[in-house]
Copies of this chain bind each other. A is one copy, B any other.
Amino acid sequence: MALTRDHVVSTAVELLRRYGLADLSMRRLARELDVQPGAIYWHVASKQELLVEVAAALLAEVPGVREEVPQSEALAALAELATAVRAALAPVPDAADVVGMAYAAERASVTALRELRGLVGRAGVPADSCDAVTDLLVHHILGSVALEQNERLAQAGDAGGAGRDGAEVARSFAVGLEVIVRGLVAAKVSSS
């Protein structure tokens, strides 16, 4: 069958899942597709553009928020969504780098993160601070994902496993998330 952009992207996602970013080269991807390296460039302008698509594909699997969340539940929904995004990215090697690049390149490019911003607004954060708070949340998520992947590597290196595991990093993420939520509540109280 002929090569399609979708096939190129989904194969790239598989390669990332299995072998990580270091092995996701245009040439390796071409080999996987039984094609010459140059062929990929007919479907995709550059590796950068490919990685943006890969990031979108990874985040597309996060269960979407239900529409019409009342303000009273916006903060809880926000914490839930942030946790779901973290859970979706955690098992994919180097997912933090890939999504971080896409987010830096174009903040609106990724659906799940746009929804996050929507919830921040509905939680009562002033309009001129929505971007700032969303950035804080996104960096907390991606930072936590990057750390967890590093723990996995360190643990694989160690013999056995006295190292902190994924559950430990997940708890750490929850602590940070709660600090942020409390901070938002405090700001709301003090300004009303």
Contact = CB atoms under 8 A, between A and B. Distances in A.
A62 B181 CA distance: 30
Number of copies: 2
Nearest to A105: B150
Contacts of A105: 150
Contact of A180 (B131, B138, B144, B180): B180
Interface of A is mostly: helix
B176 A135 contact: yes
Given A132-B172, A175-B129, A143 B150 contact: no
A183 interface: yes
Interface string A67-104: 00000000000000000000000000000000010001
Interface of A: 100, 104-105, 129, 131-133, 135-136, 138-140, 142-144, 146-147, 150, 171-173, 175-176, 178-187, 190
